[in-house]
């Protein structure tokens, strides 16, 4: 069940909210847990048992680590093996079998297992919980309902952000519900679903047109590259907005996951602003345990490459994802060694162009089915595929989607947010904004509803994760 669906928006969510808020406080976690299990069961009836098994494993290992401290490392390793083993089986088994067959000319049969939705997200949440118990950063959770609620919490279950147990540990036991918090949550959710449905989906349609047509041109390659970069940002950040908004409604404070990454002046800054929860997860649970930057230059390079190869692999079982991750790893190494200092001396516009170009190329690789396709689409930007500079087909779709591309470019910057904040500083304009903001949000929700009723195109980019 997608957040951006009629079933969720007008059936599931209202029912859950009514039941949740009429339920006594001591039973609210139970209602959230049951709702989350129903939410997951709707999309993955069989794999709900897999998630329940993962939760039970986390619960048992956490208790064993806390109780038998002399053997806690053994239990930590056991938990890691089980969690990563499960993730590897369902997400990477066919990838490794295919590569083994290619290398050794063998004929090992593929398992053809369907990947459980959201398995990467809840596996990482479980790993962080068990590791933090091991390090003594959090207390073991002996109430399995609370732990299960943390892992299965439907607002962030299938699309993130990756929520640490330490971030919501207190809120699982004692959280406050206020009208202000609920209204902020509703506002954030509507903004998120509007970004997803009214911008990301529209850009996604344009990207599909490009991928399916034989009438490509150099300009169309650039339109596709820009459109997909915008689509993936609005899609990913929209789901984070919706998750954060739903979290507020239910009394939780999830950390921000995106912070206008396209205004960055370096790749290092970009990754401080893009998918923040994933970046900090790898930093805290892989990069720092490997030694971080407190090691020699050779080991530092090794650590960065390991982290970014794993970051790429986390996104999917394909060489394009590994290449995508290693590309960023290499660029971050280069920046750390010398490029950052040189970039600081160049005009800001050059810094922005450098980041946007690299990120655009990286997302071409990210969205390609294989390396050959990634190369073809990249060199197509420079006319190497011998297409014309522009054709009537390109002009037609440029005219059709120009407005939404322009809105996407403006929306990917903090310009509108800064303007509204500036206007709110004056009494007269603040009153006008306070009047028109709820009207605008209602209008956006109506537009979203109309689109969802009328359109069948509503892709779920997180499925592969």
**Active-site annotation, residues:** 315
- Cα 149 to Cα 165: distance, rounded to the nearest angstrom: 11
- Give me 377's structure tokens: 């689409």
Nearest residue to 328 (alpha-carbon basis) of 342, 344, 314, 317: 314
- Cα 260 to Cα 112: distance, rounded to the nearest angstrom: 38
- Give me 209's structure tokens: 């047109």
- Give me 10's structure tokens: 């007008």
Interior/surface letters 245-280, b for 16+ CB within 10 angstroms, e for the rest: bbbbbbbbebbebbebbbbbbbbbbbbebbbbbbbb
Query: Which positions ≥6 away from 199 have C-beta within 8 Å?
Result: 230, 234, 238, 404, 407, 408, 411
Nearest residue to 279 (alpha-carbon basis) of 244, 316, 304, 297: 304
Please state the three-class secondary structure of 59-90 as a single string: HHHHHHHHHCHHHHHHHHHHHHHHHHHHHHHH
DSSP codes, 396-421: HHHHHHHHHHHHHHHHTSSHHHHHHH
CA atoms within 13 A on the CB side of 41: 9
Maximum C-alpha span of the chain: 74
* Torsion angle of C-alpha atoms 149, 5, 360, 302, degrees rounded to 10: 20
């Amino acid at each position: 069940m997608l957040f951006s669906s009629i079933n969720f928006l007008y059936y599931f969510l209202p029912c859950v909210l009514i039941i949740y808020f009429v339920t006594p406080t001591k039973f609210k976690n139970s209602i959230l847990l049951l709702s989350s299990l129903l939410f997951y069961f709707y999309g993955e009836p069989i794999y709900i048992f897999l998630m329940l098994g993962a939760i039970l494993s986390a619960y048992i290992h956490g208790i064993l680590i806390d109780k038998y401290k002399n053997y806690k490392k053994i239990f930590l390793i056991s938990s890691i093996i089980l969690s990563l083993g499960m993730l590897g089986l369902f997400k990477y088994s066919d990838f490794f079998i295919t590569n083994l067959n290619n290398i050794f000319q063998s004929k090992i049969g593929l398992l053809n297992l369907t990947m459980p939705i959201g398995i990467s997200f809840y596996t990482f949440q479980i790993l962080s919980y068990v590791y933090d118990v091991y390090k003594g950063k959090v207390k073991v959770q002996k109430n399995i309902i609370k732990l299960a609620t943390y892992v299965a919490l439907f607002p962030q279950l299938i699309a993130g952000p990756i929520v640490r147990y330490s971030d919501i540990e207190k809120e699982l036991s004692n959280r406050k519900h206020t009208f202000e918090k609920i209204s902020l949550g509703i506002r954030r959710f509507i903004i998120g679903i509007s970004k997803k449905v009214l911008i990301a989906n529209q850009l996604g349609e344009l990207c599909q047109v490009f991928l399916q047509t034989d009438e490509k041109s150099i300009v169309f390659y650039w339109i596709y590259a820009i459109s997909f970069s915008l689509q993936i940002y609005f899609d990913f950040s929209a789901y984070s907005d919706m998750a954060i908004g739903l979290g507020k409604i239910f009394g939780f404070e999830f950390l921000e996951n995106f912070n206008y990454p396209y205004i960055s002046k370096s790749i290092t800054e970009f990754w401080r602003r893009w998918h923040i929860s994933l970046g900090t997860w790898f930093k805290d649970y892989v990069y720092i345990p490997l030694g971080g930057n407190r090691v020699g230059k050779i080991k530092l390079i090794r650590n960065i490459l390991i982290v970014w190869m794993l970051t790429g692999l986390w996104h999917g079982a394909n060489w394009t994802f590994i290449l995508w991750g290693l590309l960023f790893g290499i660029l971050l190494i280069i920046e750390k060694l010398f490029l950052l200092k040189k970039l600081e001396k160049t005009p800001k516009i050059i810094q922005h162009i450098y980041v946007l170009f690299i990120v655009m190329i990286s997302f071409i690789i990210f969205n390609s089915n294989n390396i050959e396709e990634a190369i073809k689409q990249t060199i197509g930007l420079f006319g190497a595929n011998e297409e014309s500079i522009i054709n009537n087909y390109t002009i037609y779709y440029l005219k059709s989607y120009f407005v939404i591309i322009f809105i996407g470019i403006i929306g990917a910057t903090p310009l509108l947010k800064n303007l509204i904040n500036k206007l709110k500083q004056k009494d007269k304009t603040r009153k006008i904004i306070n009047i028109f903001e709820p009207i605008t949000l209602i209008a956006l929700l109506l537009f979203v509803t109309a689109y969802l009723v009328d359109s069948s195109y509503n892709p779920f980019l997180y499925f592969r994760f």
